[in-house]
Amino acid sequence: MPIKSIFNILFKVYGKQNWWPGETPFEIMVGAILTQNTSWNNVEKAIDNLVFHDCLDAEKIIRIHEDQLAVLLKPSGYFNLKTKRIKNYCRWYLDQGGYHCLAARDTGQLRIDLLSINGIGPETADDIMLYAFERPVFVIDAYTRRLFSRLGLVDGTASYEQIRKLFEGKLGEDVALYNEFHALIVRHAKLVCKKQPECHQCCLVKKCDYAIENAK
DNA sequence: ACCCAGGGTCATA
DNA sequence: TATGACCATGGG
C-alpha cells in the first residue's frame, strides 16, 4: 500500500484543510515555535495576545521586554522558554534581512540555516520551510510516525531524516501535496480517541480507518 | 486527579 | 547514540 494512497484516502474523508492556520509568513513562523509540544488551541490564544498588543512583528518583538512578552505568550505554555526562542528567532530573522532575503536562499541552505538557530529543531524548521517559504520539505511529526508505523509503512525507530527522505522520495517534490498531507495527518490524529484507540465513537476516524483497512 | 499536546535542548553514561 | 530531566498552560 503506497504512501500516496493514504493521502488519497485521508483527502477523500476529510477534504481540503487550508493550512497553515495563519495569514502571513511571519505569523506562521511564530506559530511553528509556539506549537512545540503544545495544542494549537493554546497557541491561538498567545497569537491573539500578540495581535491585540500589536506585537506580531519582528521589530516589536525585539524591542518588547522579556517579562512583558512572556505574559503575552503565557497561554501557549513553556512561556519563559518560548519568549527566548521567539526573540532569538526574530533577532536572526532581522539580521538576515527579513523574508525577501531569506526567500532568495537555496532550499537546502535555508533549511541548514534554520536548523542552526537555537530553539529550532527539525520539525519546527520544516514547518517554516513548507508553510512559510513554500519549499518542498515534508514535515515529520509524532502523528506521522505513529500512523505510518502502525500501517507498517515506516520503521518506527528510523530517524527524522530517514522518514522525511522516504516520504519525499515516494511523493516527489510537490509543495501543495506536502502541505495538504501533513495537515490531513494532524486532522486525523486529533480525532483519534487517545484513551481507547479501539473506540469507534468518532465516525470520521472510523470511516477513515475502514477505508485504509479496505484499501490494504 | 491524571494525561497529553502539531518539540527542543542540555546534561549524563 | 541514547536516554532522562526540564520546560508549563489548558482541555479532556
Question: Do residues A11 and A180 lie in contact, with contact meaning Cβ atoms separated by under 8 Å?
Answer: yes
**How many Å does it take to go from CA A84 to C1' B11?**
20
The more confident residue out of A5 and A215 is: A5
Specify the pLDDT at position A200.
39
A119 CB inside 7 Å of strand B: yes
Nearest to A40 by CA among A64, A20, A16, A10: A20
Estimate in Å the CA A29 to C1' B11 gap, whole number: 29
Q: Is the CB of A141 under 7 A from strand B?
A: yes
pLDDT at A197 over 60: no
Nucleotide closest to A33 measured between CA and C1': B7
Q: Is the CB of A49 under 7 A from strand B?
A: no
How does residue A202 score in pLDDT terms, banded at 50, 70 and 90? Answer: very low
- Two domains, one topology: A3-17+139-214 and A25-132: no
CA atom of A100 to C1′ atom of C3, Å = 41
- Estimate in Å the CA A41 to C1' C9 gap, whole number: 11
pLDDT at A41 over 50: yes
Cα separation, A121 vs A35, whole angstroms: 12
Q: Measured from the CB, is A160 under 7 Å from any atom of strand C? A: no
For residue A23, what pLDDT is reported? 86
Place A40 in a pLDDT band, splitting at 50, 70 and 90.
Answer: very high
pLDDT band at A212 (very low <50, low <70, confident <90, very high): low
Instruction: Strand C: list positions under 7 Å from protein Cβ.
Output: 7-11
pLDDT band at A215 (very low <50, low <70, confident <90, very high): low
Q: What is the pLDDT of residues A60-91, one digit of tens each?
A: 999 999 999 999 999 999 999 999 999 999 99
Determine the pLDDT at residue A201: 39
Query: Minimal CA–CA distance to A125: which of A60, A203, A216, A32?
Result: A32
Q: Is A120 near strand B, with its CB below 7 A from some atom of it?
A: yes
Nearest nucleic acid nucleotide to A131, CA to C1' distance: B6
**Tally of residues, chain A:** 216
The DSSP-derived string for A35-97 is TTTS-HHHHHHHHHHHHHTT--SHHHHHHS-HHHHHHHHGGGS-HHHHHHHHHHHHHHHHHTT
Å separating the CA of residue A76 from the C1' of nucleotide C11: 13
Query: So what's the pLDDT on residue A213?
Result: 56
The class level of CATH for A25-132 reads mainly alpha
| Amino acid at site A47 | I
| Residue extents of the structural domains in chain A | 3-17+139-214, 25-132
CA of A159 to C1' of B13 (A): 21
Taking domain A3-17+139-214, whether its CATH number is 1.10.1670.10 is answered by: yes
Residue A9 has pLDDT above 50, yes or no: yes
pLDDT tens digits for A110-151?
999 999 999 999 999 999 999 999 999 999 999 999 888 888
Given a cut of 80, is residue A210 above it in pLDDT?
Answer: no
Q: How far is the CA of A145 from the C1' of C1 (A)?
A: 20
Residue A95 phi/psi, 5-degree rounding, is -55, -40
